[in-house]
Structure 1
């Protein structure tokens, strides 16, 4: 399964990894370090690149912190990239002290030492420039991100035990978690995200602070919350992060449909634990991502798996015989998904794709044991549209029964459906499913001007195409005239 955490590291592992990665980065970090030092400024590689260097992960996107102010940083970076005719600098983050540049395969951001805090009622941080590396590191979110490498000497600075926490797999804050989360409440989401990305445990005092301060997340903009959620969902171990959000109450403020899946179990356990089922479907979706064109991680597929049953709490009904039903939870769930994603400011494309998959996730179960007609298969493909590959993955992932025989039967049935889709696709060009006549031809044959009747005629021909498969233009014209004649 997907939720296997990273193996434990030793301090020696960390030292070897960081030495090798700093040697690889040498052409960038040594040259920049010397340029800043010559101008009388401090420079240090910091944050994620240092953490990932210790984990043996390579990056060409590098973050630095410096004593230099933005104008001085910009001048130095322009001098550094000048030897590369494709090099460039930018200053979109100037108000936060950040100047960026690109040289060859390297993308660099250099930020002036700073501290930032949130007013309790503000969604934007107040940024003040600092004057020391130590002061800059203490304001960072977690100890594993609060390590630095001074340049050009390559001295590792670890004031808060980040190396040990990295080796033992713990997420802690450099100062008190209460102070850290008060400064930037989004760090609570980031704790869950790093748990999901690294497979680490979150320190008990950090979890306690998250639980007690969960309401503070309300001052953070929907866009920033969305971005953290996307990173969490597409991480290698999303169950860890999502479980933490639910357990601390943050999910109730960010994506309340998820904890709502923790339905009260009836005394006879006649329905599955919907919350645990959902997390299992998410994990099985991840396992099936190699089937998708991009190979994963695929946010749309994963988020559809996370949201596919959110309509169940609204539609749960207990029948007289004691069974439980969730009729139309697919339709209700699609509406809830669209509403939540709109609130989180997702793109229209992502909203449409995810909510469409949620609405279609039960469609396969009308297939029974394989008795669908070709017409029904064509409609399945037509309705799925561009999301057909993801629908295949979601439908397969949604089988979480422990009854092996039942699971194998469902998989064989879906294999048969995919085989039929492939056969019909080869025979009938299902990818571009359309009638034999277009709108202009319909207007010419029936003597119509553009309008509602042309649309009705087109829909008639599309239904004909779905029911009977491809036909010639001549046959389509005969059927169109017959249909038109019946309308008087």
Structure 2
């Protein structure tokens, strides 16, 4: 369970990170707000290792570039159209994005980019409440307009807005629900899961490359079985890998397992245990994990 006293202490430590402190000072001196946002805030509260640092600010992309250039060794503006400027600060790569208030056309995943003027407005447009928290720096103030802390404590994945609107805007978020469930060990809130089942066909507007990327990231987690169950239970996996669902129709001829689907998930879990025992500390073996999951997909058709 999340201990808030420990979590707040870890947020204080995050604010003291040399890269965070350097950027916070530069933006404050320039007269702009700055906040660490998303995954790093969530992971700090949970006591998990933080990796990529993402920031949000009321500065425009041009103003961001002006501020970070003197304190960074490299800058890139490939995401400028979406309000994002990247930089390398003290050998660490960071991304800083102007407050956003996107809208989607429902046909593609490409948003009509509109810059916002409040951090609360920026946070409520994100995928899940646990990713919709920000740490304002250098003041070390937690901003949580959507109840992310409560959902962290409960171990729940829930969208900040109505899930049908959120997933309708960006169907890739449905795949992220499965991935974050596997990564964090959280359950998907009932209304959110129902919306995935209802809107699963909208995944068609997402490119195969993005779907593949999310599937690989799911398989890299500590418990991909949990994420696979989310995909199968909601029917979302039928949009890109229906062979997994079809395994539920086949009973193991030796009657050692309830069905081939459960057997395949067991093999996947055992393959991960084998990884850890033979190669402790090594990167996840994604090809092995996919092979374990799919090793019996020929049975339904034979």
Give the TM-score normalised by structure 2.
0.93
Shift of 1:37: 2.4
CA apart distance, 1:215: 1.1
Structure 2 residue 293 is matched with structure 1 residue 306? yes
From 19, 29, 36, the counterpart of 1:45: 36
Q: Deviations over 1:340-387 (max 9, x none)?
A: xxxxxxxxxxxxxxxxxxxxxxxxxxxxxxxxxxxxxxxxxxxxxxxx
Secondary structure (helix, strand or coil) at the match of 1:149 reads strand
1:184 aligns with 2:184: no
The corresponding residue for 2:55 is: 64
Q: 1:174 to 1:42 in 2, by over 3 A?
A: same
Residue 239 of structure 1: how far off its partner (Å): 1.0
1:292 Cα deviation after fit: 4.6
Does residue 209 of structure 2 align to residue 223 of structure 1? yes
Q: Decide whether the 8 Å contact of 1:123 with 1:221 is kept in 2.
A: no
Aligned pairs (5 A) from 1:228-239 = 228-239=214-225
Asked whether the equivalents of residues 21 and 56 of structure 1 are also in contact (C-alpha less than 8 Å), the reply is no
Decide which of 157, 161, 166 is 1:175's aligned counterpart: 161
The residue aligned with 1:16 is 9
Give the equivalent residue in structure 2 for 1:74: 65
- Give the structure 2 partner of residue 31 of structure 1: 22
Q: CA deviation at 1:47?
A: 0.5
Q: 1:266 to 1:79 in 2, by over 3 A?
A: closer
Q: Secondary structure at 1:52's aligned position in 2? A: helix
User: Which residue matches 1:99?
Assistant: 85
How far is 1:186 from its partner? 0.7
**Cα 1:265–1:132 shift into 2, 3 Å:** same
Three-state SS of the structure 1 residue aligned to 2:32 is coil
Q: Secondary structure at the match of 1:175?
A: coil
Match of 2:183 among 166, 179, 197: 197
Structure 2 match to 1:417: none
The runs of 5 or more residues in structure 2 that have no matched partner are: none
Structure 1 residue 129, shift from structure 2 partner: 1.4
TM-align CA RMSD: 2.1
Q: Can you list the C-alpha shifts for 1:83-104, whole angstroms capped at 9, x where unaligned?
A: xxxx211112112111111122
C-alpha separation between the residues in 1 aligned to 2:209 and 2:221? 18
- Determine if contact 1:192/1:241 at 8 Å carries over to the other structure: yes
Q: How many correspondences in the alignment?
A: 301
CA displacement 1:97-146 (0-9 Å, x = unmatched): 11111122422100111133332222423222111101100000111100
User: How far apart in 1 are the matches of 2:75 and 2:273?
Assistant: 40
Secondary structure in 2 aligned to 1:65? strand
Change (3 A) 1:265 1:310: closer
Q: Tell me how far 1:293 sits from its aligned partner.
A: 9.0
Say if 1:115 and 1:139, in contact at 8 Å, map to a contact too. yes
Shift in Å, 1:18:
2.3
Q: Residues 22-45 of structure 1: CA distance to partner in whole angstroms, max 9, x if unpaired?
A: 33x1x2223312222222322111
Cα offset, 1:308, TM superposition: 1.2
Output one character per residue of 1:239-269: Cα deviation in whole Å (capped at 9) or x when no partner. Answer: 1111010010100002111101111549995
> In 1, are the aligned partners of 2:2 and 2:45 still within 8 Å (CA)?
no
What is the match of residue 269 of structure 2? 283
Counterparts of 2:257 and 2:137 in 1: how far apart (Å)? 60
Distance in 2 separating the partners of 1:172 and 1:239: 20
CA deviations on 1:178-226 (whole Å, 9 max, x unpaired) are: 1111111111111111000000111111111111111111111111111
The CA distance in 1 between the partners of 2:67 and 2:155, in whole Å, is: 37
SS at match of 2:225: helix
Within-5 A mapping of 1:264-283: 264-265=250-251, 273-283=259-269
Structure of higher RCO (CA pairs closer than 8 Å, 6+ residues apart): 2
Confirm or deny: 8 A CA contact 1:262 1:273 kept in the other structure: yes
CA offset at residue 13 of structure 1? 3.4
